[in-house]
Copies of this chain bind each other. A is one copy, B any other.
Amino acid sequence: MSDNVTTDKYESASNREDKLAEFEVHKRGMFGNVQHWLHLTPAAVPLIVLIASILIFGALIGDRFFSPFALTLVLQQVQIVGIVAAAQSLIILTAGIDLSVGAITVFSSVIMGQLTFRYGMPPSLAILCGLIFGTLCGTLNGFLVSRIKLPPFIVTLGTWQIILASNYLYSANETIRAQEIETHAPLLQLMGTKFQLGGAIFTLGVIFMIALMIVLAWVLRHTAWGRHVYAVGDDPEAAQLSGVNVKATLLSVYALAGLICAFAGWALIGRIGSVSPTSAYEANIESITAVVIGGISLFGGRGSILGALFGALIVGVFSLGLRLLGADAQWTYFFIGVLIIAAVAVDQWIRKVSA
C-alpha cells in the first residue's frame, strides 16, 4: 500500500541524530546538596527539629532538662503514643487514617486485665488473647476498608465509638489496681520493667517502641510487603495493575496496626501499673499529630516511619520543656498547635524549594 510507506517517511527523520535521551545531571551548590538530601530523607527534617528543640530547651532550662533523667523521661512519656504512632504511620502510608487506635489500645489492655482477674486465666494466655483481640479489631477495620471499600476516616470514626463503648460496657469501669497486678500477674507489667544506664532510666516499653520503629522501617524499606504498602498508598489502581494484591496488603496493614495497638495496650499496663478503661482516650489525635509532625504525608505513599518516632519525641520534648519553663498546661496545647502548623509549613517549603 503506498500510503503507509510515504506516511512513515517523516518519522525516520528523527533518527538521524542518534543521541540518547539522557537524565540531566544537575550541578548543585552546598545549599542545593543539603536541600536535595533533605528531600530524599523524609525523616531528616523532624530529626533536625527534634535536635534543635532539645538544644533550645536545654539552653533555656539548663541541667534540669539537659540531664539523662529528663531526656529519658521524655522517652517514657511518649512510649504509648510512639507505639500507637507506628501503627498510625502504617495506615497513613496507605493513604488511610485510623481514629480507632486509642480505643483498640485501651480495650486490649482491659481484656488482658479482665481475663486474668475476672476469669482467672493465666496472664500469658490473657496477654495472647488481648493481642489477638487487637488484631481482630484491626482486621475489622481492614475488612471494611479493603472489601466494602468505605473511606478509612468514616470506618474508623464508627469503630472508634463502637470499640470504646464496648470497652466501657465490658469493663463496667472497673480499675484493676497496680498492687494486685504486681502480686498476682506481674507479667502484665512486664513492659514497665526498668533498667538504668548511668542516670538514664529505660523501660522495656521504651526499648520496645524504639525496636518496633527500627524493625518497621527496615521492613518497609527492604521487603516486598513494605514496597507494596508504599505502592498502595501512592496509587492503588496502579499498584493493582502492576501485580500488587491491594486488598490483601490493606487488610494486612490494618490487622498489623491492630496488633501494634494491642502491644501498646500491654505497654500501657506497664506504664501506669494498673488496668484502667479510661486511659489512652486521646491516643488517636496524639498519634496523628506525631505522624504529621514526623513528615508523613496524609495522602499516603510518602514519608518514613522513623519520622513518626521523631514527631512523637518532638511533642514530648515540647510538653516537658514548656512545663519546666513554668508554662501553664494550656500554653502547652497552644504551642503544640503552633508546632503542628509550623512543622508542616517547613516541610512543604523544603519540598518546594528542592523540587
Contact = CB atoms under 8 A, between A and B. Distances in A.
A15 interface: no
A164 interface: yes
A337 B150 contact: no
Contact of A337 (B6, B159, B299, B341): B159
State the number of copies, please: 2
Contact of A154 (B149, B163, B336, B344): B344
A179 interface: no
Interface string A331-349: 1111011111100110010
B165 A333 contact: yes
Interface string A282-306: 0001001100100000110000000
B154 A340 contact: yes
A341 B149 CA distance: 11
A196 interface: no
Interface string A117-160: 00000000000000000000000000010001111011101111
Interface in A54-87: none
A168 interface: yes
A161 interface: yes
A163 B163 CA distance: 29
A175 interface: no
A14 interface: no
Nearest to A100: B337
A9 interface: yes
A166 interface: yes
A341 B339 CA distance: 33
B6 A158 contact: no
A162 interface: yes
A348 to B, nearest CB: 6
A53 B339 CA distance: 44
A328 interface: yes
A168 B337 contact: no
Contacts of A348: 148-150
Nearest to A149: B348
A335 to B, nearest CB: 8
Nearest to A5: B6
Contacts of A9: 3
Interface string A310-344: 00000000000000000010111110111111001
Given A153-B298, A161-B334, 6 more contacts: A150-B345, A154-B292, A157-B285, A157-B337, A165-B332, A168-B330
- The 8 closest A-B CB pairs, nearest first, are A161-B337, A162-B337, A165-B334, A158-B341, A158-B340, A165-B333, A165-B330, A158-B337
22 contacts: A3-B7, A7-B7, A151-B344, A153-B298, A154-B292, A154-B340, A155-B344, A157-B285, A157-B288, A158-B338, A158-B341, A159-B337, A159-B341, A162-B333, A162-B337, A162-B338, A164-B333, A165-B330, A165-B331, A165-B332, A165-B334, A166-B334
